[in-house]
A and B are shown apart, each in its own frame.
Chain A
Amino acid sequence: MNKIQQNPVLERIPVDGPCPRCGAEELRRYPVVSEGGWFQVVKCQSCLYSVEREPWSRLGPIQLLSDSL
């Protein structure tokens, strides 16, 4: 059974360094869904600039047991 959380909040992992566009020291790493599916991004939390944007797992946090075959 899945563990039920109370009002889940997306975890945003701090990343060192300034935003190359606005200079804010507010870079965070987290997954998003957009055109093209899931991505792991490193985004500036001030101006929303994506420093990194790499395709992530096809179904995001859901892992298929059949993928281990």
Chain B
Amino acid sequence: MTEPARLREISDDEFTAAYGSDRFTSAVILNRLRYAVEHMSTGFMREAFSPIIRDWYDFACTISGPPERGYPMAVVSNSLVVFLGTLGDAVRNAVEEFGPENLSPGDVLICNDPYRGGTHVNDVCFIRPVFAGGKIVSFVNMRAHQLDMGGTVPGGFSATKSNVYENGLVIPPVLLWSRDQPVRSTFSLIFDNTRWGGMLLPDFKSIHQQLKLGEQLVLENIERYGLDAYLGTLTYACDTSAERMRDAIALVPDGDYTGSALIDADGLDDTVDYTVRVTLRKRGQHIEVDLSGTSPQARTCINCGVLDAKTAVGVALTMLLDPEVPFTSGTWRTIDLATPPGTLVSSLPPDGGIMMFWEASGAVVSAIFDALNPVLGEKGVAGDYGSTNTHNASGVTAGGTPWTSATQCGGEHGPWGATKEGDGDSYTVLFFLNNLDPATETIEHDAPLVMLRKEHAIDTGGAGEFRGGAANLKDTLWLSAASHYLSPFRTKVPSGVGANGGKAGPNGAMWFFPPREDARELLGTSAEVYAGSIPVAGVLDPDSKAPDPEGVYHYFASRPVWRTEPGTVLRCLTNGGGGWGDPLARDPERVLADVRNAYVSVEGAARDYGVVVIGDPHHDPEGLRIDEQATAELRARR
């Protein structure tokens, strides 16, 4: 097995022979194609009606090459990574099944089957062939989350659905537009089986226009630089990813490394938890990732498909080994995923339903971090908050208007772990999602609620030379009766594991607080406030109901639907991010700044970092100072 020539070392003539143009032209074309997918994205976001598109950026765009080159996914937008990772396979699988010979200019092929293309049924792939000289030379693609795709739960976000039939409408590869004319039967299939079709329709029309824009921009490049240069650039883009990933893998010592990650329960009952187990075998520039030993597929729809597991492998290795590797098909060239069928992360239809797919594939990321962090030392990356703790609610206003709140009021956003570069961010999304945070004003406009808190929780970042990001604490007051679906999956053991000697972040939980007479007062944040709550999820003290790692697990689907009265408050506390490095090596000035900014309490500074801070952070923050001598003595005793 000979290794390919290094891109920097081949001659200009060799480059042109391999890629159909000189290096400079390939770089220009590649940047123009990246502009194309970002232009498509911007246009869609500007026009979208659906909140999950408009506010969450729950879509992605890619450009793939033609069938005879294996559909290489060469260009991706700066957006939702789980979509990007599966789109290469989704395009190839959908087009191969439909038959590339059956496609015409102006067609838009769609497919939403998780087993054919990854993710879940709400995510519809829109694929447009680009023709030049009478043949397909490329595909421009979008995947976009549709607010509803039928099934037993409005919006779909629930762990309680048992199989693909309850899950929602499955669309095989079919045309939505044929030669730029809408295929009415396909539109009717969707509208007759989904809720809120009126919101889907304008978004479909916008997607059609963005795909036409993408096609136009691709054709402009072909016209200006020639087809050989265009197709060569797609190959060059993937070869670049492959080479960088090969180099990154080569830096890991040869060996077999094992790791695992735990998911609390599925939506049936709390008698079964689920473990993702991974063995990475690394030899030279190759890694084989074996998921044998992972729990069987879940009884309800918390599974993911194998393409999502593949995405997770690519994301984890990119983040750990070289975050600069461009995310293309080539990322996986020297990576093999070997998995038995029928596991939590390689589920099979019809019983292995797939909805909360990112939770399962996120556990694959965690397991790979668990396996490689001990090997990587300083290059290790601490864990994030682990679960989006997704919340969906729906109801009817007093005036009779139906409303829904989707993925806005749970613990969807939270912290990352720390790295050798610095502290973990405190309010983002899971490592491999890369979404936006909906604006509070929009959330309150769309549903009868008031968002009372959305803040960093003190003493929740894992301690370390660099601190983990702080957990997010969110309180939402529901003004009308509501039906809630809650899906926190990682509360039993810390997801925000430490790296390079850093400490784990604590775990979060969810509670409902019944309507109160003093509703005008904010709920407190001290431990005693939880005694009056109805716990939904988390490991909690049996008496105080406050988080306690030695406490009792509360099962999120003990009520498949949580129905609440007007005036109820939902509190969601995410897990904290993990710390990196020895906490006693943290610069005391950084600890002082953390106390000043309420990331760390005075007590936490002494307990976790051995730093003695004097003063009152609430009433005299500028007067805070470090007791140098007491700090030195305290650290010396550790």
Contact = CB atoms under 8 A, between A and B. Distances in A.
Interface residues of B, number: 48
B294 interface: yes
A35 B332 contact: yes
A68 interface: no
A16 to B, nearest CB: 20
B172 A66 contact: yes
Interface string B165-180: 0000000100000000
A53 to B, nearest CB: 9
Interface stretch (B191-199, B336-344, B382-390): B336-344
A49 B343 contact: no
B414 interface: no
Nearest to B293: A7
Contact of B335 (A7, A30, A34, A59): A34
Interface in B308-343: 310, 329-333, 335-343
Interface string B329-364: 111110111111111000011111000000000000
B337 A11 contact: no
B294 A34 contact: no
A58 B244 CA distance: 28
A35 B284 CA distance: 18
B338 A4 contact: no
Interface string A1-27: 110111111110000000001000000
Nearest to A60: B306
Interface string B145-179: 00000000000000000000000000010000000
Interface in B266-314: 277, 281, 283-284, 286, 288, 290-297, 306-307, 310
B148 to A, nearest CB: 25
Interface stretch (B15-23, B90-98, B208-216, B567-575): B90-98
A52 B1 CA distance: 11
B310 A33 contact: yes
A30 B292 contact: no
Interface string A26-44: 0000111111110001010
B70 interface: yes
Contacts of B57: none
A4 B96 CA distance: 30
Contacts of B342: 2, 4-5, 8
A8 B292 contact: yes
B84 interface: no
Nearest to B97: A58
Given A4-B297, A59-B93, A9 B116 contact: no
A8 B333 contact: no
Interface residues of A, number: 33
B242 interface: yes
Given A35-B242, A36-B329, A1 B351 contact: yes
Given A33-B306, A62-B348, A4 B296 contact: yes
A46 to B, nearest CB: 8
Which of B283, B306, B338, B351 has most A Cβ within 10 Å?
A: B338
B432 interface: no
B56 interface: no
A34 B331 CA distance: 9
A53 B97 CA distance: 22
Contacts, number: 99
A9 B341 contact: no
Nearest to A55: B70
A48 B288 contact: yes
B292 A9 contact: yes
Interface in B171-228: 172
A63 B554 CA distance: 39
B294 A8 contact: yes
B512 interface: no
B92 A11 contact: no
Contacts of A62: 115, 341, 348-349
Contacts of A34: 332-333, 335-337
A64 B310 CA distance: 21
Contact of B336 (A6, A8, A33): A33
A48 B296 contact: no
Nearest to A10: B340
B272 to A, nearest CB: 11
B348 A61 contact: yes
B370 interface: no
A44 B336 CA distance: 13
B92 A10 contact: no
Given A1-B351, A4-B297, A37-B89, A11 B340 contact: yes
Contacts of B335: 34-35
Which of B96, B291, B330, B341 has most A Cβ within 10 Å?
A: B341
Contact of B351 (A2, A21, A37, A59): A2
A33 B337 contact: yes
A28 B561 CA distance: 48
B336 A41 contact: yes
A50 B284 CA distance: 13
Contacts of B340: 5, 8-11
Contacts of A41: 336
A6 B296 contact: yes
Contact of B296 (A7, A30, A35): A7
Contact of A2 (B92, B295, B348): B348
A47 B283 contact: yes
A49 B336 CA distance: 11
Which of A2, A5, A47 has most B Cβ within 10 Å?
A: A2
A59 B116 contact: yes
Given A34-B335, A34-B336, A36-B70, A8 B341 contact: yes
Contacts of A46: 283
Q: What 6 pairs across the A-B complex have the smallest Cβ distances?
A: A8-B340, A32-B336, A61-B341, A9-B292, A10-B340, A35-B332
Given A34-B336, A64-B97, 16 more contacts: A7-B292, A7-B293, A9-B340, A10-B291, A10-B339, A32-B288, A33-B336, A34-B333, A34-B337, A35-B238, A37-B93, A41-B336, A48-B288, A49-B1, A50-B1, A59-B115
9 contacts: A1-B351, A7-B296, A33-B336, A34-B335, A34-B337, A35-B330, A36-B329, A59-B116, A60-B306
Interface of A: 1-2, 4-11, 21, 30-37, 41, 43, 46-50, 58-62, 64, 66
